Amino acid sequence: MVPLSYYLILSAILFTLGVAGFLFKRNIVTIFMSVELMLNAVNLTFVALSYSLRQLDGQIIVFFVMVIAAAEAAVGLAIIITVFRNRESLNVDRIDLMKL
Amino acid sequence: MFNLPLWLIPVLPLAGAAWNGLWGKRYTERAVAAIAVGAVALSFLLSVLAFAGLGGEPRIESYGAWIAAASFQANFNFYLDPLSSVMTLVVTGVGLLIHIYAAGYMTREGGYYRFFAYMNLFVFFMLTLVLAGNYLLLFVGWEGVGLCSYLLIGFYFRKNDAADAGKKAFLVNRIGDFGILIALILLYWTFDSLNFSQILPRAAELPVESDAVGPLTLICLLILMGATGKSAQVPLYVWLPDAMLGPTPVSALIHAATMVTAGVYIIARSGPLYVHAPDAMFAVALVGGVTALYAATIGVVQNDIKRVLAYSTISQIGYMVMACGVAAFSAAIFHLVTHAFFKALLFLGAGSVIHALGGEQDIRKMGGLRRSMPRTYWTFLAACLALSAVWPFSGFFSKDEILWEAYSSPYGGVGLWLLGLLTAGISSFYIFRLFLLTFYGLPKTAADAAPEPAGLEAAHSAYHLHESPPIMTWPLILLGMLSLAGGWMGSPFLFGGSDPWSRFIAPAFQLAVIPGEGAPAHSAQTEHLLMACSLLVSFAGLFLALLLYRWRPALADVLQARFRGAYQVVLNKYFVDEFYRFLFVRPLVIGSSEFLWKGMDMVAIDGTIHRAARRTGRVGDTLRRMQSGNVRSYAGWMVLGAVLLIGFLVMWTV
């Protein structure tokens, strides 16, 4: 039996990695993947807690998160493709036309 | 036949005003004039019918509630008694003649339809004023004539001084109106009503406030304040001379038929209140007497033909107010009527002269118009004689009645009588000075221009002197006849007359008498003597004018040089305008521009708002830098926010 804390620590590490990738990567696809990583880190927490507390709520929420992540991925990828078609680049630092 | 509703009388001119004001621009001048004159003519006809149908009791018509708030009730009601009936006749009758005259005078002046819309509106408001059955409705008319005077005096609004004169008239009138408004509140407070039919009988039952100052005295003094504004009495008379900058028919309308008589009317209407407030009564008499003399002296030295007449109006209205002040209301209204005739005539005649001279108003530059303008000359002469109170012209009867009342009434005395007498002499002098300078002698400017006095013929051609067209002279002739004969309706018993005037008007003032306080008996001999005195004084003035301006013209200049200081003071109207400007206008202007404008408005109000806006802008300027457009910096802000939020929640819950 793996203790709960292991799951939580793993989840925290994954989340932090996600945040780090989100902040420091320039490639928009990588950033997108970092977001997925963060989502899944949270999912792991939910599942672990759900298991240890013997409650199903957490697992249900995980399904929701996965559905939303899928939808988000669809929209996000569509945006990324459009951006790439227009600018021939995936570097977020060069996508800054919306500023004042 | 006689039961036509009263509201038709004022509404007809209103309809004319509305029609001309809204659509007059599309019509020819002829059509506009026809509508305006027709409206007033019909109104005059109805006034005559109403006059003919007048019974012993005042006729009160109510057209429904206007304001009803708790116990306060004001209706649209009209009140026709001999007093208001006479007033409607004067307003519509003299107004009609002035309208006809103006139809000829105002051609090619521009704004023809606008002019007649205002004129009709003026008549409407004046009729509302005199027919109103309560003080509040009267006040509507009162304010309305103030508005119309503003519109008409400033008729040539492109001329700056005309526009200023309009504003001055309006503002000075507002000061008086303030008094009327307070008087209205006090009236309601005292009588729980504003209707004449309730207030006047109840006022007649109240005790006379001879010792203590009670509400009646206050009300009466406040009404007097309003009257000094509207009727151009000391100290609020200053607007009237400036009002001369309006078109001449307007001056005639304001001075003769409407507006300035409103003050006399309201005092006469409130007669039952006044006789119960002897202090206020004395104030009225004093204001009237002083104004009469004061304005007459200014009239002596003015050189603008219309200004002389303006001061003459102030002076004559002073007579009426003085008559009210000695409880001689009947005499006051009598003089109001005769004055309406001859003063309208004087103004219209002056307009005719100005017209002929192509806009010249300085009497020093006039002269010799007797031959070229015979109709104007003769009618003007009639008006001058009436103003000078020469028997048998109308002014004689009314002025003499006032002087007699001023002497014999329990409220009057020798002092007031002397004031009136002196004024009579001066009036006679200044009006004949005007008359002689205008119609006799040689045309001045032409004589200067031609080195060889070429006589009248040359002058005529130089000026294109001409008599005015018939549309302008017929009103003059009619008014001339009225000035000549109008006084006989009030011919006293002394001349074997039956004095129908007093018998007719008496019911209107039966409440304005303190029972048991009749006039002390004076013999017919005294009356004859006083009459002779006033005639003598009138002729003295006439003679002096003839001496100075016809027989010995050089003497006038000598006198002018001798009394240089006094002359300058009077010529500048005793510097009252300057005094007012120094005392009231300047502090107001400085106070408003330095404190209210530059202090309150610009620093306190605008400043606060500007500072708030600037501060917001600066904060926004700083925060704007967060919006770099760089996605990763947004991500950083988001992470920072999330960390702070989570950190805060953790700290909070632990």
pTM, whole model, 2 decimals?
Answer: 0.79
What does the pLDDT read at residue B496? 57
Mean pLDDT in residue range B577-593: 86
pLDDT surpassing 80 at residue B633:
yes
pLDDT surpassing 60 at residue B460:
no
Local structure of residue B226 (DSSP, 8 states) = H
Mean pLDDT of chain B: 86
Q: Hey, which residues 32-91 in chain A have their CB within 8 Å of chain B?
A: none
What does the pLDDT read at residue B462? 47
What does the pLDDT read at residue B447? 43
A22 touches chain B (CB under 8 A): yes
Asked if A96 and B628 come within 8 Å (Cβ–Cβ), the reply is yes
Angstrom distance (rounded) from CA B532 to CA B537: 9
Picking from B98-102, B346-350, B391-395, B600-604, which range would have the lowest pLDDT averaged per residue?
B391-395
Residues in chain A: 100
The CA–CA distances, whole Å, from B318 to B34, B228, B287, B494, B496 equal: 36, 10, 7, 26, 29
Residue in the block written with tokens 């001369």 = B244
Q: Which of B624, B628, B631, B646 to mutate to test the interface with A (most CBs of A within 10 A)?
A: B631
Q: Between residues B654 and B43, which one has the greater pLDDT?
A: B43
A31 touches chain B (CB under 8 A): yes
Bridge partner list, B74 = B67
Give residue-wise pLDDT tens across range A10-65. 999 999 999 999 888 888 899 899 999 999 999 999 999 999 999 999 999 999 99
What does the pLDDT read at residue A46? 94
Asked if B627 and A100 come within 8 Å (Cβ–Cβ), the reply is yes
Mean pLDDT in residue range B243-247: 87
What does the pLDDT read at residue B185? 92
Mean pLDDT in residue range B576-595: 86
Give residue-wise pLDDT tens across range B182-203. 999 999 998 888 889 888 888 8
Local structure of residue B630 (DSSP, 8 states) = -
The CA–CA distances, whole Å, from A61 to A18, A41, A67, B106 equal: 20, 13, 10, 92
Give residue-wise pLDDT tens across range B101-141. 999 888 877 788 999 999 999 999 999 999 999 999 999 99
pLDDT surpassing 90 at residue B575:
no
What does the pLDDT read at residue B630? 78
Residue of chain A minimizing CA distance to B631: A92
- Closest by Cβ to A96, choosing from B629, B635, B639: B629
pLDDT surpassing 60 at residue B584:
yes
Angstrom distance (rounded) from CA B190 to CA B219: 10
- Residues of chain B with pLDDT > 70, as a percent, come to 93
Residue of chain B minimizing CA distance to A93: B630
pLDDT surpassing 60 at residue B271:
yes
Continuous segment of H or E residues that includes residue B641:
helix B631-653
Residue of chain B minimizing CA distance to A91: B631
Asked if A26 and B632 come within 8 Å (Cβ–Cβ), the reply is yes
What does the pLDDT read at residue B1? 47
What does the pLDDT read at residue B624? 84
Asked if A97 and B629 come within 8 Å (Cβ–Cβ), the reply is yes
- Closest by Cβ to B632, choosing from A19, A93, A99: A93
Residues of A in contact with B639 (CB under 8 A): 19, 22-23
Which residues, in sequence order, are CB contacts of B43 under 8 Å at separation 6+? B8, B9, B10, B12, B13, B92, B123, B127
Q: Which residues of B have a CB under 8 Å from any CB of A?
A: 624, 627-632, 635-636, 639
Asked if B627 and A96 come within 8 Å (Cβ–Cβ), the reply is no
Residues of B in contact with A93 (CB under 8 A): 630-632
Count Cβ–Cβ pairs < 8 Å, chain A vs chain B: 31
Give residue-wise pLDDT tens across range B502-543. 888 888 888 877 765 555 566 777 878 888 888 888 889 888
What does the pLDDT read at residue B461? 46
Angstrom distance (rounded) from CA B36 to CA B31: 9
Query: ipTM of this complex > 0.85?
Result: no
Picking from B170-174, B306-310, B410-414, which range would have the lowest pLDDT averaged per residue?
B410-414
What does the pLDDT read at residue B177? 92
Bridge partner list, B304 = B362
A1 touches chain B (CB under 8 A): no
Local structure of residue B72 (DSSP, 8 states) = E
What does the pLDDT read at residue B506? 82
Residue of chain B minimizing CA distance to A24: B632
Residues of A in contact with B625 (CB under 8 A): none
The distance of A20 to chain B (nearest Cα, Å) reads 10
Q: Between residues B516 and B353, which one has the greater pLDDT?
A: B353
Residues of B in contact with A79 (CB under 8 A): none
What does the pLDDT read at residue B520? 59
Give residue-wise pLDDT tens across range B253-266. 887 767 889 999 99
Q: Which long-range contacts (CB under 8 A, 24 or more apart) does B169-175 make?
A: B169/B239, B169/B240, B169/B242, B169/B243, B170/B146, B171/B239, B172/B229, B172/B236, B172/B238, B172/B239, B173/B146, B173/B149, B173/B229, B173/B230, B173/B236, B173/B239, B174/B146, B174/B229, B175/B225, B175/B229, B175/B236
* Residue B2: pLDDT band with limits 50, 70, 90: low
Angstrom distance (rounded) from CA B87 to CA B128: 11
CB of B501 closer than 8 Å to CB of B487: no
Mean pLDDT in residue range B277-295: 91
What does the pLDDT read at residue B458? 44
CB of B344 closer than 8 Å to CB of B96: no
The distance of B632 to chain A (nearest Cα, Å) reads 6
The CA–CA distances, whole Å, from A15 to B65, B562, B625 equal: 81, 112, 29
* Residue B424: pLDDT band with limits 50, 70, 90: very high
Residues of A in contact with B636 (CB under 8 A): 23
pLDDT surpassing 60 at residue B457:
no
The distance of B621 to chain A (nearest Cα, Å) reads 11
Q: Which CATH class is domain A4-88?
A: mainly alpha
Mean pLDDT in residue range B158-180: 90
